[in-house]
Structure 1
Amino acid sequence: MRFKKSSPPPKKSRPGSSRNTDHPRPNPRETLEIDIEQLSHEVRGIARYRGKTLFVDNALPGEKVKARITASRAKFDEAVAIEILEPAAIRQTPPCPHAAECGGCSLQHMAPQAQIEAKQQILLDQLQRFGKAAPEEVLPPLTGPDLGYRSKARLGVRYVKPKSGGKPELVFGFREKGSNNLTDISQCLVLPEAFSALIPELKQLVERCNTRRHISHIEVAIGEDATALVVRHLQPLTNEDRSQWLTFAQAHNLHLYFQPGEEAHKAWPEAGPERLAYALPEFGLTLQFHPQDFIQVNFGINRKMVHAAIDLLDIQPEDRVLDLFCGLGNFTLPIATRAREVVGVEGILELTRRGQENATANGLANIQFQAADLTADFTRSPWARGGFDKILLDPPRTGALEVARNIGHFNASRIVYVSCNPATLARDAAELIQRGYHLSKAGAMDMFPHTTHVESIALFERQ
């Protein structure tokens, strides 16, 4: 497959300025038959129409589709395929009945193997385009089950007046594609089957609540030991409503939290810590997390990812290792089972506390966790002294630009970069290369099947 970079949104015209009239403006309701040539980096089909690039949702390379224009820009237009006239070999029937409307999964029309192959190519294209870099070795993608994999989700709750009129009706689900509206769902196939089956009952429970219009969303967090529900409500729940939620949680063996404001409070079971857990058996570790903590939501791929990261770092018993953007210790603790010492640094203080809890619970005394702003110059921080043999980066989508600019301070022999955005990985790769590293290995990870998210892992070695 070939990929093309999407054009940026056009700049707004000043009042009184003339518009570009080189291309006739399409009718937003217009339908047309087009041939899809390739995929964009957002995994949308690309076609040419009236001399402009057309990005087409729900379309795959090699297909002829009937599409409806949805938006017109100065340099490109957008559309959605409403009928597939000649399907590609990689097209499949979406397994979920809500796939056409729900924005939770936007690639269910594409075979899972084709999805990860496309993401691998997107990674390599972005590295070349923005980083002017190509890995010496392309790692095989890390893959796993494409359904029932997700351990966290947030279901929206909203009352909407039907287009046909009448009383507002409850809509319970995820946002629609390209919209803030919600898709009403009865199941979610990327969530574990046991929880997906509870969605109709959850909706009925919300409808029975006296304060139903003040419940904004239901968050689910699934550990390997238990499942938790977090009920976000904008006004106090009545005693009757609280009783209904407690009865539901007890009947289905769920942990229950109420969230009237910023913090969620555990309501059931009354005893025990406010924690769930997941295991990393290869390292003999169990990590605990609060239902609202950030974690890797695909436990199967996470285990493979941690194994790959430790393998790429090539940790030796005397190594001192730095784990930046460490969270609650997902990589820090496994590294500590191999290294002399590990320093984990995270911007969110609460997560560093959680990391220390996990280190103590697992009997690891060779870890120190630090809270620090990693978007600023950190080279004079006390924790940055002493040098590091290996470094692991696991930044948010914005990447680790400031880290990359200062990383030469540590003189580490290897850097493993775990990324959730290939564009910022590529940008940071260029910085690392300028500072004496070369891109040794890189590959994609299928952390979020059926979505356009591209997760990857890369190894940089000092030249």
Structure 2
Amino acid sequence: MAREVELEIQDLSHDGRGVGRIDGKAVFVAGALPGERVRASLVSRKRNFDEARTIEVLEASADRVVPKCAAFGLCGGCALQHMDPAAQIAAKQRVLMENLERIGHVTPESVLPPLTDAPWGYRRKARLGVKYVRKKERVLVGFREAADPRFIADCQRCEVLVPEVGERLAELAELVSGLSIREQLPQIEVAAGDSQTALVLRHLQPLSAADREALSAFAARTGLAIHLQPGGNDSVVPLDPGTPPLQFALDEGALSLEFRPLDFVQVNAGMNHRMIALALQLLDLQPQHRVLDLFCGLGNFTLPLARRAAAVVGVEGEAGLVQRARENAQRNGLSNVSFHAADLSKPLAGADWLAADYDRLLLDPPRTGADGIIPQLPLSRIPRVVYVSCHPGSLARDAGILVREHGYRLRAAGVMDMFPHTAHVESIALFGRD
């Protein structure tokens, strides 16, 4: 039988668990919040820390709320539904500031107000696991379990997914259970545009005629677009050849970007609008400016920048995204923007775009950060940099590089709640010389 302990919770870990101590040893407690006293069951003991799961909250935090999702605690899709949204974003702000000070040894001159949006039904991109469970004689569709990612959480609905999908997990499970390939369908990717939502079914065996009929009927009834993926990313095709492309609008409808279901787009559409507006504000663009947008993807920032600046250059590592970014620029009538494919983690000596002069720089790197490209940039000629980050540790490291090695000042930084109810910390920072 697992050992039970009582703990005072003093902090929140990077993955959303409460942190207490037993005889000085850290204990990470799932389901506990700072300021609480809980009874917990030890589930794992390691050399430097233990792990536990809350059994009973003896003294609750004022920030504790009732989770909206019935599967919270079992499902690994969310970690903080039991915490008031305002407290969640405050905790993320603390994580950002602690990382900047501890890793980057920098402190922003000002802290930006947190960016927030609707906390439910926001997630337009997701990968759902699918599993036919023989013992239960039924299919499960959803995120993986928090305690053991080998298993799919048994959920009837998801409160953070776009409602078109989140309210239909049980229907999806029923659909898959009736297919001949139900044991050869390991995942479903979700991708939602402004007017259509697509499901990409990864299948390891060919579909039968009856399977296709069932999927077509489901698509007709729900309005969801079904895509099939028999192999790699390039194998994705719509079940119905007449399916229109996914798209989303930017800049209050002035721009429209098309994308494929497996393309990277920002998960939270509402926050994406707010984030772009803030980035444009921080860049302080003038009509004569030339802007370099690195890790540009489909042109999420590049195209709004091009509507305001004299010229914009976007650079991205994935050639397919670069091609679709070019098509999006052409579709929107923007001729002052160019795109280049380049691995921004590698040496890029000789690249024409790297030798050009720029007035502004926007960085939106992956979790690993931008330390591979920063030393190669003509930063001495760029007075203002905006850095959009999906990992506070890599932002903090790169902030230290920009400040100590390139003479910038960290003018401002703050968090953006791109993933409410999770422990993900997204942030934005402004570096300047002026």
Which interval holds the TM-score relative to the shorter structure?
A: over 0.9
Segments of structure 2 that go 5 or more residues without pairing to the other structure are: none
Summarize deviations over 1:363-411 as a string: whole Å, max 9, x none.
0001110000100122431111221110000000011111222334562
Matched, 1:245 2:215: yes
Distance 1:168 1:253, change over 3 A: closer
2:167 matches 1:171 = no
Kept in 1, the 8 Å contact 2:115–2:274? The answer is yes
Quote how far apart the aligned CAs of 1:327 are: 0.3
1:328 aligned residue: 298
* Alignment check: 8 A CA contact 2:124 2:161 kept: yes
SS of structure 1 residue aligned to 2:186: strand
Corresponding residue number in structure 2 for 1:65: 38
| In structure 1, C-alpha distance between the alignment counterparts of 2:380 and 2:349, rounded to whole Å | 9
Residue 313 of structure 1 is matched in structure 2 by 283
Structure 1 position 268, deviation (Å): 4.2
Q: Distance in 1 between matches of 2:300 and 2:289?
A: 19
Distance in 1 (alpha carbons) for counterparts of 2:15 and 2:157: 26
Tell whether 2:241 aligns with 1:270. yes
Aligned-pair distance for 1:209? 0.8
Q: Which residue of 2 aligns with 1:396?
A: 366
Aligned with 1:152 (options 106, 125, 139): 125
The one-letter amino acid paired with 1:40 is: S
Deviations 1:40-62 (A, max 9, x none): 33332111102311121211111
AA matched with 2:345? T
User: Could you give the per-residue CA deviations for residues 32-83 of structure 1, whole angstroms, max 9, x where no partner exists?
Assistant: 1111112233332111102311121211111110111122222221212121
More divergent stretch after superposition (185-194 vs 229-238) = 185-194
SS at match of 1:69: strand
Question: In the TM superposition, what are the counterparts of 1:5-20 in structure 2 within 5 Å?
Answer: none
Matching of residue 458 in structure 1 with residue 429 in structure 2:
yes
- 1:341 paired with 2:311, answer yes
For the aligned residue pairs, the C-alpha RMSD in angstroms reads: 1.5
What pairs with 1:130-279 in structure 2 (closer than 5 Å)?
A: 130-162=103-135, 168-180=137-149, 181-262=151-232, 263-271=234-242, 273=244, 275-279=245-249
Aligned-partner Cα distance in 2 for 1:253–1:43: 36
What amino acid sits opposite 1:201 in the alignment? Answer: E
> 2:389–2:426: 8 Å Cα contact kept in structure 1?
yes
Q: Does 1:94 align with 2:57?
A: no
Distance (Å, rounded) in 1 between the aligned partners of 2:109 and 2:265: 31
- Whether the aligned pair in 1 keeps the contact of 2:42 and 2:51 (CA below 8 Å) is yes
Aligned-pair CA distance for 1:144: 0.7
Note if contact 2:117-2:270 (Cα within 8 Å) is conserved in structure 1: yes
Q: Is the contact between residue 283 and residue 334 of structure 1 (CA under 8 Å) also seen in structure 2?
A: no
**What one-letter code is carried by the residue in structure 1 that aligns with 2:110?**
E
**TM-score, L = length of structure 1:** 0.90
Aligned equivalent of 2:56:
83
Deviation at 1:283, TM superposition (A): 6.7
Corresponding letter in the other structure for 1:248: F
1:403-418 matched pairs, under 5 angstroms: 403-409=373-379, 411-418=381-388
TM-score (ref. length: structure 2): 0.96
Deviation at 1:161, TM superposition (A): 4.6
Task: Give the conservation status (yes or no) of the 8 Å contact 2:5–2:41.
Answer: yes
Identity of aligned residues (%): 49
Kept in 2, the 8 Å contact 1:387–1:410? The answer is no
Residues 316, 342 of structure 2: 8 Å contact kept:
yes
1:436 aligns with 2:407: yes
Matched residue SS, 2:428 = strand
CA distance in 1, matches of 2:110, 2:413: 7
Mapped partners of 1:137, 1:412: distance in 2: 21
2:140–2:154 Cα contact (<8 Å) kept = yes
Indicate conservation of the 8 Å contact 2:380/2:406, yes or no.
Answer: no
Find the aligned partners of 2:15 and 2:378 in 1 and give their Cα distance.
33
How many Å separate the matches in 1 of 2:228 and 2:91? 41
| SS in structure 2 at match of 1:402 | coil
- The alignment of Structure 1 onto Structure 2 pairs a total of residues equal to 431
The structure-2 alpha-carbon separation of the partners of 1:153 and 1:229, relative to structure 1 and needing over 3 Å to count, comes to: same
* In structure 2, C-alpha distance between the alignment counterparts of 1:451 and 1:406, rounded to whole Å: 35
Q: Contact (CA 8 Å) 2:15, 2:79: kept in 1 or not?
A: no
1:95-117 CA-to-partner distances (Å, cap 9, x unmatched) read 00011200001110111110001
Counterpart CA distance in 1 for 2:379 and 2:430 is 18
- Answer whether contact 2:138 2:177 (CA < 8 A) is retained: no
Kindly tell me: are residues 268 and 41 of structure 1, through their superposed partners in 2, closer, same or farther at Cα, counting changes over 3 Å? closer
Contact 1:437 1:462 in 2 (8 A): yes
Residue 243 (structure 1) shift:
1.2
